[in-house]
Structure 1
């Protein structure tokens, strides 16, 4: 089982670095720095610090081959999204996600296509699951 730090929440800057690493798969600090968007500051030492923090928290692991240290993610993006979203909903809405859904739908720029997809998802959730048979 993956062991994460008790202080496992990610700061926005750490999340940005993690997203770059997810895109790269495996990377050195320099490769992460170079992959950052142009509008972001590309400071080697800062990126190195963020990667070290992510490693401390259990999100990232490193491997040294010769003189080269590479980093890879230890968690899938979906699990981070789940954790961050759950934390956000708990802090802002007391754990009730429905007010967040209402806000996103009412305040967001939701296209007709997105509404169709949402309707299909809701219809799917309302359908009773079919019992499976063992043949």
Structure 2
């Protein structure tokens, strides 16, 4: 199935469900609900309804061949992160990656290890441009 990330804009609740599926792979509504319930009170019927809506939107696939329906993510974590970041960058930082990075680094103490990894990433990007 071709990935449908162009127009998919997951809500916060839908992202939480996708994160469970990305981390644990295809699973039942019960499993997803149990995982979500570890961090907040979530009703089974709410999770079921959300996953049905996500199926209609094309965010998840549903295997109905067994007794329990098995849901799997229809969109990848990387593609979803890229789409959300692009949208966030455009709306919150007027498309400026520099403003985003400056804000992120200024909001908390950045470890030397993180700074070294960022420096390596920048060096690698510079090499790719040549």
Query: Are the equivalent residues in 2 in contact too, given 1:3–1:58 (CA < 8 A)?
Result: yes
Q: Matched residues in 1 for 2:5 and 2:120: separation? A: 36
Structure 2: how far apart are the matches of 1:126 and 1:5? 29
Conserved 8 A contact 2:5-2:75 = no
**Pairwise CA RMSD:** 1.9
Which residue does the alignment assign to 1:133?
A: none
Return 5+ residue gaps in structure 1 as ranges.
131-135
Query: TM-score w.r.t. structure 2 length?
Result: 0.88
Aligned position for 1:2: 3
Query: Is the Cα contact below 8 Å between 1:29 and 1:70 reproduced in 2?
Result: yes
- Unaligned stretches of 5+ residues in structure 2: none
1:14 aligns with 2:14: yes
| Bigger radius of gyration among the two | 1
8 Å CA contact 1:5–1:57 kept in 2: the answer is no
Residue 69 of structure 2 aligns with which residue? 69
Q: Which has the higher strand share?
A: 1
Q: Which has the higher contact order (CA 8 A, sep 6+)?
A: 2
